[in-house]
Amino acid sequence: MNSIQQFNVDRADLAKTSLTETPLPSRETLPDDGLLVKVDRFAFTANNITYAMLGDALKYWQLFPAPDGRGNIPVWGFGDVIASKHPSVPEGERLFGYFPMATHLVIEAVDVSKRGLRDGAAHRQGVAPVYNAYARVGADPAFVGRQGDYQALLRPLFMLSFLVDDFLADAELFGAKQVILSSASSKTAFGLAHLLHTGRSPIRVIGLTSARNADFTSSLGCYHEVIPYDRIDTLRPEQATAFVDMAGNAELRGRLHRHFGDRLVYSGRVGMTHQDMAEVDDMPGAKPSWFFAPDQIRKRAREWGPGGIDQRFGAAWAGFAPMLEKSLMIVERFGVEAVEEVYRQTLAGQVAPSEGHMLSLAER
C-alpha cells in the first residue's frame, strides 16, 4: 500500500462517511524523531460514537485532523512501527494506544522510555495526556491474542468504570441506597456494575436496558435487578437513588427525575450514545452533571502518588477480566466496507451487546 487511507465522518451529520487517501511518507520525509506506524487492528464500540458526538466539546476532532468539515473518530488499538527516525524506537516495535480510523499514523515520539512514549505533535496537545500515550507492548503477554483484544475493547472503558466507581465511593454514594445505570448492557456500564456489585454489597445495583438486551444484561450477574426502559415506574420512588447515565437520553433522564423527585441524590452523565441533545429543564432531584474522568485522575494522582492509580486499576482489572470470556464474543472484520458496516450498525444502536468488534481498514 502506497497511501494512507482514513475513514472519516461528517462532523455535522454522523451518518455521512467518506474515505480519504494521502501519500504514504517515506522514512526520509518523517519529522525528527518521527515514527510511521501501520495500524494493525482497533476496537470499535458505542463509546466511539460518544467521542464523535462530543468531538468539538472535548477536542477529539483535533487529535487526528480530517479535511473539509469531516472528522476522524479516535479508536483504541494496536500499531506496528514500520519506519523510525528515533534512535530508541526500532522498526517492528508494537504500540498500544489511541489511533485514528486509518491504515497508518505518523507519531512525533517524545518522552520515550522502556514502557512507552508520547506523540508530541502540536495538534495533539491540550487534551488529556492519556490520549497521547502509547505503551510498548511487544513483549507483554497481556496484550497478545484474545487478551490483547480484551485490552483494546474494554481496558479504556473499564478505566472509566473504575474512575466513576472511585468517584462515587469518595462521595459515599451521595447517601444513595441504590445505583441505577442506563444503557446497562454497554461495556462501560457493566464494568461499573461489576465494581459496585463486588465492592459495596449493601448497595443495590439496577440496570436499565432495552427489552431485547434484558436477557444478556441479566446473564452478566453484576446487577441485582434489570429493568426494561418501559418499566421505570415499577422502581420504588422512596429509595435514595444515584443515577449514572450512560446513554445521554434526555427523555429517559427526565422520567427518572420525575419518578424519584428529591430522592434522586445524584444524576451523573457519562456517555452519549443517543443522538438526542435536548435537555429537560426544571427537573426535581439532583441537578445533572457531567463526570469528567481527567479530573478524578488528577485528584487521585495527587493523593495516591506515583503508580497508585495503576496499582489499584490493575487489581480491579484482574478481578474483571475473567468474566469477559463468558460474556463477550470477539468479532473480527477487515476492509473499508466492513468498517463502514460496523460503524453504521453501532451508530444505529444495532450491535449485540455480547459482541466486541476488532476492525482493520486493511484487507486480510
Please write the tens of the pLDDT for every residue from 254-297: 999 999 999 999 999 986 544 444 455 578 999 999 898 888 99
Asked if residue 166 and residue 132 are part of one domain, the reply reads no
Q: How many domains does the chain have?
A: 2
**Confidence (pLDDT) at 356:** 94
Asked if residue 206 and residue 163 are part of one domain, the reply reads yes
**Confidence (pLDDT) at 279:** 52
Asked if residue 210 and residue 131 are part of one domain, the reply reads no
Residue indicated by cell numbers 461495556: 187
Asked if residue 162 and residue 39 are part of one domain, the reply reads no
Domain membership of residue 118 (yes or no) is: yes
- The C-alpha atoms of residue 210 and residue 227 are separated, in whole angstroms, by 8
What is the per-residue pLDDT across 123-140, written as a single tens digit (0 to 9) for each? Answer: 999 888 889 999 999 989
Domain boundary among 296, 320, 343: 296
Domain membership of residue 200 (yes or no) is: yes
Asked if residue 130 and residue 59 are part of one domain, the reply reads yes
- What are the E-state strand segments in 176-328? 178-181, 204-209, 225-228, 241-245, 264-269, 289-290
Q: Which amino acid is at 221?
A: G
**Confidence (pLDDT) at 280:** 53
Asked if residue 117 and residue 28 are part of one domain, the reply reads yes
Asked if residue 7 and residue 88 are part of one domain, the reply reads yes
Judge contact between 164 and 268, C-beta under 8 A.
yes
Asked if residue 98 and residue 16 are part of one domain, the reply reads yes
Q: Give the DSSP per-residue string, 150-197.
A: HHHHHHHHHHHHHHHHHHHHHTGGGG-SEEEESSTTSHHHHHHHHHHH
Cell triple for 296 = 478524578
Asked if residue 343 and residue 259 are part of one domain, the reply reads no
Asked if residue 213 and residue 92 are part of one domain, the reply reads no
**Confidence (pLDDT) at 304:** 95
Q: What is the DSSP letter of 132?
A: G
- The C-alpha atoms of residue 320 and residue 226 are separated, in whole angstroms, by 20
CATH number, domain with residue 24 = 3.90.180.10
Cell triple for 10 = 461528517
Domain membership of residue 74 (yes or no) is: yes
Q: Give the chain's end-to-end CA distance (angstroms, integer).
A: 13
Instruction: Please return the burial class of 281, using the count of CB atoms within 10 Å of its CB with bins 0-12, 13-18 and 19+.
Output: exposed
**Could you tell me the pTM of the whole model?**
0.85
Domain membership of residue 35 (yes or no) is: yes
Q: What is the residue range of 245's domain?
A: 156-296
Domain boundary among 254, 273, 296: 296
Asked if residue 221 and residue 347 are part of one domain, the reply reads no
Cell triple for 103 = 491504515
- The C-alpha atoms of residue 188 and residue 92 are separated, in whole angstroms, by 32
**Confidence (pLDDT) at 201:** 65
Q: Which amino acid is at 290?
A: W
Asked if residue 245 and residue 281 are part of one domain, the reply reads yes
Domain boundary among 281, 296, 311: 296
Residue indicated by cell numbers 446513554: 247
Domain membership of residue 308 (yes or no) is: no
CATH number, domain with residue 190 = 3.40.50.720
**Confidence (pLDDT) at 276:** 47
Domain membership of residue 204 (yes or no) is: yes
**Residue ranges in the chain modelled with pLDDT below 70:** 1, 200-201, 271-281
Distances (CA, A) of 310 to 116, 145, 155, 177, 304: 14, 22, 12, 29, 10
Domain membership of residue 79 (yes or no) is: yes
Beta-ladder partners of 98: 76
Domain membership of residue 149 (yes or no) is: no
